[in-house]
Every structure is written in structure tokens, then in C-alpha cells.
Amino acid sequence: MPYSDYRTALVTGASTGMGEATVQRFTERGLTVHAVARNADRLAALAEKTGAIPHAVDLRDTAAVETELAGLPIDVLVNNAGVSRQGNVLSATAADLDDMVDVNLRAVLQLTRILLPGMVERDLGHIVNISSIAGLYNFFGHTAYHATKAAVHQISRQIRNDTVGKRIRVTEICPGRVETEIFGRNLGGTPEAMKQAWETFYEGYESLTTDDIVGSIEFAIEAPRHANIGLIEIMPTFQVPGGLTFDRRSE
């Protein structure tokens, strides 16, 4: 279903990283793009650069989201917004868990609930959920993050069941490590934290870039209209999800 079949898109987490890159590409391809994020200043700059329509709204506030976005005739919904926190469930705070569930999971469900009926009525739509290899594989830390992304994996499959018989496609993108601000935000979001995150997680590594993710989204969108690309797992060549830990106790 080529871009010419679609007119509008909505991208969450649009003010930075993969979301910003997706907005830029969509506008270049001629779509009217609604860009959603909390940072009004960044959204304004993005709107000036791309012509996207900014919506400064907190996805954790369902009432505000519904007031701002309900009724928009969206053809392509990209659920990209996500948060992560350091540590596992033993060290997480109540706020950490709530934020990850609210942004990574609840917002995906609520936005889908709000916008999918219009797609069904028009018999046209594509939902792209940005998940993570953390939703498919187990590795240390970030327990709630793994749980929310695993839920998005199942939601992506279930929406296909919910809309069977309609020309609606659902794609889940599961990236490995991508060069974004997420690690820097985990460390506090200051310039020093961003520098530390870059040196720790990206310097010397061949990580994915936001262009790689946008390319995956485009591949799914540009598939023939009779083909649904359901799952794209994309990782750096030098990153693998494998590994087995077997701890030993002496008593």
C-alpha cells in the first residue's frame, strides 16, 4: 500500500529521536503529520522545519489526549513514545513503574481505541507500534520495560484479529540499540548525562540509527496492499540477544 494511499499520520514521541525522524520522513513523502509530544518548544521547532501539526500533550493524561486528538482522520498511527528507567523491579520506585506502564502500554491502548474506529469506518489504516527486543528476549534489568514491550507485542497481534476483514495493517518494529537520547534521559537528562551515556553506550559501537528505524517503517508501509508486514526485528550486526546465565551457590 504505497504512500499515495494515505493522507494523514500521527506520530507520538515526535520531538526527538525515532519519532522526530519519522515525522520528517512522512512530511517529505507528502503526508499531513500530527506530531505529539510533551515538549512544546521542540514540537514548535519541528513544526516550523517540517510543516507538521504540533500537539503538546502528555500521553499519561487520557482525557487530555482524547480532547486533543479524538476525531482526527488518521491513516497511519505510529506509537513511538516510550520511557525507560534504570534498574529492575527490586530497585524501581512506584513512579518508575507507573511511568513505564502509562506511556509504553496504556497510551498505546488508548490511542488505538481513539483512532482505530475511524480507520475501520474508512476501511483504511496502518498502525506501527515501536516495541523493543526487550519485549521478545530476557536480559538483565528494566523488568517493567520488558513487561510493557511484551504487552505491545501481543497488542500488535491482537489488533489484527480485531480488524480482520478490513484493509488495516499492523506492524511491530522491534529494535535493538538505537542512537537516541533514551540512555541519557535515564541518567538524568543533563548535558553531562547525555555525554556520559554517549561514551558508555554508543562510542565505539556500530549502533542502529534513527534512519534505520524509519527505513523499516517505510518498508512495511510500502509493501503491497495485500501484504501485512507484522513484525520487523532489527538489531545492530554486532548485537545479539543470546546468552545464558547459570549462577552457582556454594551453600
Residue ranges covered by each domain of the chain:
3-234
pLDDT band at 39 (very low <50, low <70, confident <90, very high): very high
pLDDT confidence band for 179 (50 / 70 / 90): confident
Q: Point out which residues pair with 9 in neighbouring strands.
A: 33, 76
Q: Give the percent of the chain with pLDDT over 70.
A: 93
Q: Positive or negative CA dihedral for 130, 34, 105, 92?
A: positive
pLDDT of the residue at 119? 98
Is the pLDDT confidence value at 1 over 60?
no
Q: How would DSSP label each residue in 21-50?
A: HHHHHHHHTT-EEEEEES-HHHHHHHHHHH
Q: What DSSP designation does 181 have? A: S
Residue listed under C-alpha cell 486528538:
69
- Active-site choice (3, 137, 145, 205): 145
Q: How far apart are CA 84 and CA 62, in angstroms?
A: 20
More confident residue, 204 or 79: 79
| pLDDT for residue 243 is more than 70 | yes
Q: What is the pLDDT of residues 10-29, one digit of tens each?
A: 999 999 999 999 999 999 99
Burial of 29 (0-12, 13-18, 19+ CB in 10 A): middle
pLDDT tens-digit map of 134-154: 999 988 888 999 999 999 999
Domain 3-234 CATH assignment equals 3.90.1150.10: no
The pLDDT score that the predictor gives to residue 139 is: 85
**In angstroms, rounded to a whole number, what is the distance separating the alpha carbons of residues 139 and 147?**
12
pLDDT band at 184 (very low <50, low <70, confident <90, very high): low
- Greater model confidence, 203 or 211: 211
Give the cell for residue 149.
Answer: 514491550
Question: Whose CA is closest to 11, among 61, 48, 46, 62?
Answer: 46
Examine the pLDDT at 31 and tell me if it is beyond 80.
yes
DSSP secondary structure string for all residues of 116-130: HHHHHHHT-EEEEEE
Mean pLDDT of 35-63: 97
Clarify whether 6 is annotated catalytic.
no
pLDDT band at 199; cut points 50, 70, 90: confident
Nearest alpha-carbon partner for 217 in 131, 158, 148, 146: 131
- Determine contact, residues 105/148, Cβ cutoff 8 Å: yes
By the 8 A CB rule, do 74 and 115 touch?
A: yes
Q: At 35, give phi and psi (nearest 5°).
A: -100, 125
User: What amino acid is encoded at 33 in this protein?
Assistant: V
Confidence band (pLDDT; 50, 70, 90) for 191? confident
Q: Which of helix, strand or coil describes residue 99?
A: helix
pTM: 0.92
Question: Average pLDDT over the chain, rounded to whole?
Answer: 92
- 197 confidence band (pLDDT: 50, 70, 90): low
What band does 194 get if pLDDT is binned at 50, 70 and 90? low
Among candidate residues 77, 78, 90, 97, the one with its CA nearest the CA of residue 147: 97
Question: 23, 104, 37, 32: which is closest to 65 by C-alpha?
Answer: 37
pLDDT computed for residue 249 by the predictor: 85
Average pLDDT of the segment spanning 86-97: 90
